[in-house]
C-alpha cells in the first residue's frame, strides 16, 4: 500500500466540478479551494451545488478531500481588525468543509508580523481555541502546513508546529500537512532517500506521525534552505527523485492523501506526468 495520490483541482464553475477534473488526471484524492482564495467574503454554498458535489464524489470515487483555506487568513496577526476578519473567514472555511463532508482543512500557521515567534504561536493557538469552541460539532480537522520560513511566517520548524498543537485545547481537531518544497526550503534535507527517512523520523519525534494527515508533494525550484517557496515538477528540481521514492514507499505514510501543487496546464498533462512519475517510484 502506498499514498492516496491526488492534486489540487480547480473548482471553477462550482466545487462539484473539481471532482471530475481530479479524476481526469488520474488522481484518487483531491484538494480544492471552497471559495475564492483571494477574497474575504464569499456567497454561501448553493444547495444544488452541494448536492451535485456529493453525487460527483460518489461517482468518481474520490473519498479523501482537502480544502486549502484563503491566503488572506492570518490567525496569528497582532492586529485586531485583521485577526477578527481572519477568524470569521476561517470559521466559514470550517463550516463549508462540514457541509461538503471534507475531512481536512489545510492552513498556514500565520505570520507574527513583528510581534515575535512566541507571541505569534500563542495568538494562533488562541484563535483556534476560540473558533473550535464556537463550532463544537464541526468534524473537519485543521491541518497546520509546514512553511518555507519566509519573513515572519510561523511553521518553519517542527518545533513551532508542535508548540501550536501543545496550546490547542481540542488536540483531536488539529493535524499537520507536510509540504516537501516548504520543508526543504526551511532547511530539512530531502536530497536523498536516507536523509528523507531521517526527516520523517525527526517529525515523529517532535510532533508525532499520528498527527500527519496530509502531504503536499512538490519539488523545489530553489536551493536547499533558501526560505523561498517555489514549486517544481516532481523529480525535476533541487530535491530530486530520492525524497519522493522514500515517501511513497514509507509504510508509516501509507494511505495519506498526497496532493500535487505543481504547475498546471489546461489539458492536465502536467498533473498526469507528475502522478505517473510518483506511481513509478512505488516498489511494493
| Neighbouring C-beta atoms of residue 168, cutoff 10 Å | 19
59 noted as active-site residue: no
Catalytic residue selected from 231, 238, 245, 271:
231
**Catalytic position from the list 51, 58, 63, 71:** 71
- Annotated active-site residue 179? The verdict is yes
Asked about 233 being catalytic, the answer comes back as: no
Which of 8, 21, 57, 68 does the annotation list as catalytic? 68
Please tell me which residue in 229, 238, 245, 271 is annotated as part of the active site: 229
- Given 8, 57, 108, 173, which residue is catalytic? 108
Residue 283, all three cell numbers: 516498489
Asked if residues 175 and 214 have their Cβ atoms less than 8 Å apart, the reply is yes
17 part of the active site: no
Cell (9 digits) for 25: 488526471
182 counts as catalytic: yes
| Active site annotation includes 68 | yes
Backbone angles phi, psi at 20, to 5 degrees: -65, -35
Report which of 76, 108, 74, 104 is spatially closest to residue 89, judged by C-alpha positions.
74
Q: Which of 8, 112, 173, 182 is catalytic?
A: 182
C-beta of residue 121 within 8 angstroms of C-beta of residue 160: yes
Given the residues 216, 238, 245, 271, select the one marked as catalytic. Answer: 216
Does 173 participate in catalysis according to the annotation? no
Tell me if residue 71 is catalytic. yes
Is 229 part of the annotated catalytic residue set? yes
3-state secondary structure of 146: coil
Catalytic residue chosen out of the listed positions 179, 219, 238, 271: 179
Decide if 234 contacts 181 (C-beta within 8 A).
no
Q: Annotated catalytic residue: which of 37, 204, 232, 261?
A: 261
CB 197 within 8 A of CB 159: no
Q: Is there a catalytic annotation at residue 54?
A: no
DSSP assignment of 168-197: -S-GGGEEEEEEHHHHHHTT---SSHHHHH
Do 86 and 41 form a contact (C-beta atoms < 8 A)?
A: no
Residues 205, 227: Cα–Cα separation, whole Å: 23
DSSP category for residue 215: E
Catalytic annotation present for 271: no
The catalytic residue positions are 38, 68, 71, 108, 145, 179, 182, 216, 229, 231, 261
Amino acid at each position: 500500500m502506498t499514498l492516496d495520490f491526488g492534486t489540487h483541482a480547480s473548482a471553477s464553475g462550482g466545487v462539484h466540478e473539481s471532482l471530475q477534473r481530479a479524476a481526469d488526471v488520474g488522481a484518487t484524492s483531491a484538494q480544492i479551494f471552497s471559495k475564492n482564495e483571494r477574497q474575504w467574503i464569499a456567497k454561501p454554498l448553493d444547495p444544488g451545488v452541494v448536492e451535485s458535489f456529493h453525487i460527483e464524489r460518489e461517482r468518481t470515487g474520490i473519498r479523501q478531500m482537502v480544502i486549502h483555506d484563503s491566503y488572506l487568513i492570518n490567525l496569528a496577526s497582532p492586529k485586531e481588525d485583521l485577526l477578527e476578519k481572519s477568524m470569521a473567514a476561517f470559521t466559514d472555511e470550517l463550516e463549508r468543509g462540514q457541509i461538503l463532508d471534507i475531512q481536512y482543512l489545510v492552513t498556514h500557521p500565520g505570520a507574527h508580523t513583528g510581534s515575535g515567534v512566541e507571541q505569534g504561536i500563542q495568538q494562533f493557538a488562541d484563535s483556534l481555541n476560540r473558533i473550535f469552541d464556537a463550532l463544537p460539532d464541526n468534524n473537519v480537522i485543521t491541518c497546520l502546513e509546514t512553511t518555507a520560513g519566509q519573513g515572519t511566517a510561523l511553521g518553519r520548524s517542527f518545533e513551532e508546529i508542535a508548540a501550536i498543537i501543545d496550546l490547542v485545547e481540542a488536540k483531536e481537531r488539529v493535524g499537520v500537512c507536510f509540504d516537501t518544497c516548504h520543508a526543504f526550503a526551511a532547511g530539512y534535507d530531502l536530497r536523498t532517500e536516507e536523509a528523507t527517512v531521517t526527516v520523517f523520523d525527526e517529525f515523529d519525534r517532535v510532533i508525532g506521525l499520528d498527527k500527519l494527515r496530509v502531504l503536499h508533494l512538490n519539488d523545489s525550484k530553489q536551493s536547499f534552505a533558501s526560505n523561498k517557496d517555489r514549486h517544481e515538477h516532481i523529480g525535476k528540481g533541487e530535491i530530486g527523485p530520492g525524497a519522493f521514492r522514500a515517501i511513497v514507499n514509507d509504510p508509516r505514510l501509507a494511505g495519506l492523501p498526497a496532493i500535487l501543487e505543481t504547475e498546471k496546464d489546461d489539458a492536465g498533462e502536467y498533473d498526469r506526468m507528475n502522478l505517473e512519475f510518483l506511481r513509478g517510484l512505488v516498489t511494493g
